[in-house]
Amino acid sequence: MCGRYALTLPPDAMRRLFDYPEQPNFPPRWNIAPTQPVPIIRRHSDTRPHVAVVRWGLVPQWAREVSGKPLINARGETVAEKPAFRAAFQRRRCLIPADGFYEWKTTTTGLKQPYLIRRRDRGMMAFAGIWERWHAADGSQLESCCIVTTQANAPLSAVHHRMPVILHEAGWDTWMDRSHRRMAEALALIAPAPDDLLDITAISHRINSVANDDETVQAPAGPQTTVTQAETPKTPTAQMTLF
């Protein structure tokens, strides 16, 4: 799974990369957690990419209420079949930009060592995502998303058995296409990243707390690092807006 990630690329640089018309205003984030607002890149009827800020933790259209346990990941093997994800996969696929993500490995002592996973060239990653629009009984709306995952590649499998689907730029258009005609092509994009794409670094346990959201959470692990168990995210620590 993917339960935390980072997005620190300046908004102007991200806008140039994904070529959307909006001018987003959001801060660098080193420790994004479930239920927090995150930017996604998606297509509308004009076929051009657009950026939106949505809740990380998908709420299906048919849900009666927002569940306490957010659906932050969707297994790529079943995303086209599971009722919670099927409609979103068919019509509402998106890119979720990131420049790093985190996984935890249980050590021989039973404690969890966090790891930072980034591209070796430190470039941007576009996770395969899906998004949904949920209508509450009072007429309000909530847009939400989740990350599509797949089996880990060989290097990452030493830390965790799953990983986000990281889309090559050549597949962005296919993934964001809103028609049923390219569903088979989209499914074909769900695969582990190449073994030589990423590097993996053991980092400080400061990442365990969602209250810590600065560059120090990515500091390499050291002998004086305090070991703590990962904490469950509760409330957002930053807001993202569009203007």
Each residue of 189-224: pLDDT tens digit? 999 999 999 999 999 999 999 999 999 999 999 754
17 class by beta-carbon count within 10 Å (0-12 exposed, 13-18 middle, 19+ buried): middle
User: From the candidates 77, 81, 94, 103, which is the catalytic residue?
Assistant: 103
Give pTM, 2 decimals. 0.90
Output the CA–CA distances (angstroms, integers) from residue 122 to 8, 47, 57, 99, in the order listed: 11, 29, 26, 7
Cα→Cα distances 233→34, 48, 164, 230, Å: 7, 34, 19, 9
Catalytic member of 2, 94, 145, 146: 2
Closest residue by Cα to residue 167 from 208, 137, 131, 124: 124
Give yes or no: 215 in active site.
Answer: no
Number of structural domains in the chain:
1
Number of helices (H), then strands (E), in the chain: 4, 14
Q: What is the pLDDT of residue 225?
A: 39
User: Token digits for 146?
Assistant: 């989740």
Residue 223, pLDDT score: 58
**pLDDT tens figures, 142-192:** 999 999 999 999 999 999 999 999 999 999 999 999 877 789 999 999 999
- The CA distance from 87 to 60, in Å, is 9
Known catalytic residue at 77:
no
- DSSP E strands in 8-99: the ranges are 24-25, 29-32, 37-43, 49-56, 73-75, 93-98
Q: Are strands 100-106 and 49-56 parallel, antiparallel or unpaired?
A: unpaired
- Distance, CA of 61 to CA of 227 (rounded, Å): 40
CATH of the domain at 73: 3.90.1680.10
* CA dist., res. 54 & res. 131, Å (int): 8
Alpha-carbon gap, residue 146 to 59, rounded angstroms: 9
At 235 the pLDDT is 39
CA-based angle 187:55:134, to the nearest 5?
80
Owning domain of residue 76:
4-242
Backbone angles phi, psi at 109, to 5 degrees: -85, -5
Mean pLDDT (the chain) is 89
- Between 147 and 231, the more confident residue is 147
Which residues, including other chains, have CB under 8 Å from residue 173's CB and lie 6 or more apart?
none
Output the six-digit token pair for 136: 């509450």
